[in-house]
Structure 1
Amino acid sequence: MGVHLITGAGSGIGAAVARLLAERGEDLWLLARDETRAGALRSRFPGSRTLAADLAEPTELAAALGKQELPERLDSLLHIAGTLEPGAVADLDPAAWQGMLAVNVVSPAELTRVLLPALRAAPGRVVFVNSGAGLHAPPGLGGYAASKFALRALAESLRAEEYRHGVRVTTVFPGEVDTPMQARLHGAFGLPYEPGAFLAPESVAAALAGVLDFPADGTLSELTIRPGC
């Protein structure tokens, strides 16, 4: 049984991963934006422990987490939370850019920094759930794609830096997944939403479990998952 900290466990891929690991009897730590959401996660995943800190405020993360009990060792840190605001580069204002960069890049970097002692103690894995937009920047998603390209760079540097400590780093690039974010995105672009055409969150969760279970003699540096055949 391992110890795992998950962001974004409230819905979508994060919730599917939390369910899967809970069914396996793993020890879960779940990050929530505030105490109200933390209580909801504890009710949903009995036996889990929670931390409350807002990923939209990366400069306050260390102080917020410093007031709470943290795990002494971590077998994995799973960065699954993310935010998206669609819009052409001509239309996105600085607040939209800053919001996506804060949640999607700066907070994962800061959370990883704070938890590196626990990850080194295991040694554990850091898993960044990226996006197909982290490999190809489509029109209307320039801000989101930029944050995901930056997240890939963060993972690459971290992988090289933490190799000597035994901490392994994986980036997972899912294609379209049937999540609330995907539904909002299709609505924003006026596109029909057909859940059966997308990956199920449970399928991505199964792939992430495979990353966690990969033998210790190697690292899955990057993994791309696409819907369909």
Structure 2
Amino acid sequence: MTNTALITGASRGLGLALARALGAAGWRLVLTARGAEDLDRAAAELGATAIAGDVTDPAHVARLAAAAPSLDLLVNNASDLGVTPLPHLADHPLEAFRGLLETNVTAPLALIQATLPALRASGGSIVNVTSDAATGAYEGWGGYGATKAALEQLSNVLAAEEPGLRVWWVDPGEMNTRMLADAVGAHEAAGAADPAKVAAALYDLVSSRPASGKVSLH
């Protein structure tokens, strides 16, 4: 039986690289991202199902769950950096922070809730992509880091509540992505890890299915 994976933020960066690795291994893929053009290009390359939309939209979450009635792997990779240049907490716009919480914490939980019946049926796995900003005191990263800390604790509790699943909260380290370039500049981002190499390590994690827990890929 073919395994099925649902990946958010799949049109570029780590999400696309992981989709390529899973696709090469014969997985069926349901991919989502906000940008329809890039997502359609990725889906055409991989023979995947593309459903463009915003993960904070409940109707979109429902469409994603309906597209994967049989599901073995959920990857919550979509994330928002927030205001750039990254502000100190004293100056962080509260409305922007609320938006970060919605995208980086509430949306992953909504998709988990929507897909849990299928994941329980398969004894499947969940990957929540986090960051070392969840624990490190990096100036300017307080808003984003707070959301990733919340996602880590959500994952930790979920693992305890769903012992039949594998739940991993994964810190991929710095990668040469558009998000990192927006945060630190293209020159500095160019020295970070290739998302394809990180995706290879993440694929090994998914394939070997160790016990639930926090995983660092750097």
Normalised by the length of structure 1, the TM-score is: 0.85
Distance in structure 2 (CA, Å) of the matches to 1:83 and 1:140: 14
Deviation by residue 1:60-87 (Cα, 9 ceiling, x = unmatched): 32x3343563212211101111111221
Flag the 1:7–1:224 CA change in 2: closer, same or farther, 3 A. same
Structure 2 counterpart of 1:64: 60
Distance in structure 1 (CA, Å) of the matches to 2:156 and 2:141: 23
Deviation by residue 1:92-140 (Cα, 9 ceiling, x = unmatched): 1112101211111110000110010111111100001111112213111
Contact 1:74–1:123, Cα closer than 8 Å, also in 2: no
Structure 1 counterpart of 2:43: 42
What amino acid sits opposite 2:126 in the alignment?
V
Q: State the identity %.
A: 36
Distance in structure 2 (CA, Å) of the matches to 1:224 and 1:66: 31
Structure 2 counterpart of 1:81: 78
What amino acid sits opposite 2:171 in the alignment?
F
Helix, strand or coil: the match of 1:78?
strand
Structure 1 counterpart of 2:182: 184
Distance in structure 1 (CA, Å) of the matches to 2:7 and 2:99: 20
Distance in structure 2 (CA, Å) of the matches to 1:104 and 1:194: 21
Structure 2 counterpart of 1:146: 146
Q: How does 1:1-229 map to 2 (within 5 A)?
A: 1-33=2-34, 38-45=39-46, 47-55=47-55, 57=56, 60-61=57-58, 63-66=59-62, 69-85=66-82, 86-163=86-163, 166-187=164-185, 192-193=187-188, 195=190, 197-215=191-209, 218-226=210-218
Computed over aligned residues only, the root mean square deviation of the Cα atoms, in angstroms, reads: 2.0
Distance in structure 2 (CA, Å) of the matches to 1:174 and 1:37: 22
Flag the 1:111–1:135 CA change in 2: closer, same or farther, 3 A. same
What amino acid sits opposite 1:221 in the alignment?
G
Normalised by the length of structure 2, the TM-score is: 0.89
Gapped regions of structure 2 (runs ≥ 5): none
What is the deviation of 1:6?
0.4
Contact 1:134–1:173, Cα closer than 8 Å, also in 2: no
Distance in structure 2 (CA, Å) of the matches to 1:36 and 1:194: 24
Helix, strand or coil: the match of 2:139?
coil
Gapped regions of structure 1 (runs ≥ 5): none
Distance in structure 2 (CA, Å) of the matches to 1:11 and 1:36: 11
Flag the 1:84–1:210 CA change in 2: closer, same or farther, 3 A. same
What is the deviation of 1:44?
3.5
Distance in structure 1 (CA, Å) of the matches to 2:189 and 2:202: 24
Distance in structure 2 (CA, Å) of the matches to 1:193 and 1:221: 30
Distance in structure 1 (CA, Å) of the matches to 2:206 and 2:51: 22
